[in-house]
Chain A
């Protein structure tokens, strides 16, 4: 990773924040319903299984990248040559862009449903993109700073779970393991969507100082996400029963409703506003990584790549009109994500092993310079 000057790099421990903040997004506000559909009150087991599976995937990604000593674009080029590799990289970048669009659009949807039904999509998209632009323009250092901030701003939100626990029905969890293994696996598939997002590390890893040291932080980040999801699932499951949960689209948001502080009640308004700091790192890391990817692929200036991307995403965001379309967008993108992670990454891992191209470190470095 010699091509990136040291003062542009960020500390390896940043991998922790960047992985968690990328994983925790809008999904957590209402994912309980989806995973409980199949595995019922045992869905928390799926959360753990999913978390552990993703640790394996992180390990794979680190292996793939460290063999070539490059980002995914360099790996693609080394393994498949200029044209096929370039096409694969391009497809991957399109997938990443669509995840940005999904996160952005879903958050706007939440705002429109919960706070401002009359808020026009163009204006809020414009403002949020402007916000993202002001961060991404500062480079990876600023974007990473935002993810640290997002992490610490969302921590106190855990305390709000207390209000739900006051009215908890702990028997909802019993009996443990009342569902079949296939049910649990189906729920694990559902959970996958909520762990998605960390795969952007494929693009920004070269910007971490000592990437090999950052691996443990990435794993820890993933475990923290798992822990967060576990708490969320636990609290939602004891507050709602399974049938009620199926009628509750945004379980966590509904939980915020009962928060009653002496100076403010109905916390969901403040909560959704604060959630901006969870969404923003998602969008910003996404924008940064993809524009960086375009810059690496086509030698376009990163700034102009970013602007073009933002324009396209702005148009796409306006084109998504109603809730159904947001839902479709969510399911489609997460399906693609599912296959990329569980099929393509292992495939890449095996291909690399077979071709054995990874041994030549020098070669990898040379080609990744482009």
Chain B
């Protein structure tokens, strides 16, 4: 019995070398944001932002950016190791940024390395940056401790309100999926602020166009039910009012998909007037006017957006997939050919329910 136990213990000792290596929290460098910049057609500059904790409890961490240039991102990380005192770990990556020039050439290869890594989560945010990601990550922002934290909160907040939701999972969902195309938030560094300037439209993994922030709101209306978005409407001679939507609903109707398809999209928006300088909003008659003014403005604008999408041959709304789900034996090839010329009508219906707490 004792001898048998000895053998077991001995075997275990022999095998201890095969135990996994340790990644103790304070001994690794946690990369919390990466940015990819365009260098040349075959080369990418990779910037990894690391938050380095400081001694003491209440001292905020300092952010550092490590940079390397290669053709694949994995090798870039190996390069970065040379400068860093601790090994890099990307398991806590929150944000991946892509320079817009790079995005025009396609970003799938870069995203693919990220999605293959089992240590990465699925709620990683992605965004396209107008300008260099390096300068964006290197800046210290007074609004938040580190750029990555700032970006995370910024994107989180905006995706709840004005721009379509998109993280790495959504991107891949729309990238792989037939009859839909991905979109990503478009951001820009403005001084010591970062601004969401709109939505980047992608065909497969290449950026082909963009929408302004106001238009992103309308695109979001066409894509998903949501609340809390804000939209500004012009009302008679230079008077403006903003409307905040409390809920929205979108319905699609497909006609004759197999031969000559046409699509009706009807959007219902419930909202309240959040800001209306110089407009007496408590008047019921006026509310109706406001409603029709909003409807008119939105209708005009959304139809324009849809036309734009069709022209660029991007199906950001995912109409192809919706058509598939309503048609037996759906033919994607045919649909893709027809897509730019399909008549798509958007009808927005607006209902204004409240106008604040005072009269």
Please report A residues at the B interface, Cβ cutoff 8 Å.
Answer: 113-123, 126, 130, 167, 169, 171-175, 178, 240-244, 246-247, 254, 257-258, 260, 265-266, 268
CB of B89 within 8 Å of the partner chain? no
14 A-B Cβ contacts within 8 A?
A: A114-B118, A117-B20, A119-B20, A120-B15, A121-B18, A123-B12, A123-B15, A123-B18, A123-B19, A175-B326, A175-B328, A243-B176, A254-B122, A258-B122
A118 and B21 within 8 A (CB): yes
Chain A nearest CB from B212 CB (Å) reads 27
A119 and B325 within 8 A (CB): no
Nearest chain-B residue to A253 (Cβ)? Answer: B118
Contacts of B8 in A (CB 8 A): 130
Contacts of A169 in B (CB 8 A): 173
| Cβ 8 A contact of B176, one of A115, A118, A119, A247 | A247
B: number of interface residues (CB 8 Å): 29
Within 8 A of A (CB), among B1-59: 8, 11-12, 15-21
Within 8 A of A (CB), among B306-332: 321-322, 325-330
Chain B nearest CB from A332 CB (Å) reads 26
A177–B285 alpha-carbon span in the complex (Å): 51
A119 and B118 within 8 A (CB): no
Contacts of B176 in A (CB 8 A): 241, 243-244, 246-247
CB of B138 within 8 Å of the partner chain? no
Please report B residues at the A interface, Cβ cutoff 8 Å.
Answer: 8, 11-12, 15-21, 91, 118, 121-123, 169, 172-173, 176-178, 321-322, 325-330
Given contacts A122-B15, A243-B177, contact A265 B20 (CB under 8 A): no
B118 and A113 within 8 A (CB): yes
| Cβ 8 A contact of B173, one of A114, A115, A173, A244 | A244
Contacts of A247 in B (CB 8 A): 172, 176
A178 and B15 within 8 A (CB): no
A167–B123 alpha-carbon span in the complex (Å): 11
Chain A nearest CB from B23 CB (Å) reads 10
Chain B nearest CB from A273 CB (Å) reads 13
A126 and B11 within 8 A (CB): yes
A240–B176 alpha-carbon span in the complex (Å): 10
A116 and B20 within 8 A (CB): yes
**Across the A-B interface, the 10 shortest Cβ-Cβ residue pairs:** A120-B18, A116-B20, A174-B325, A244-B176, A171-B325, A123-B15, A241-B177, A243-B176, A123-B18, A257-B122
Chain A nearest CB from B165 CB (Å) reads 9
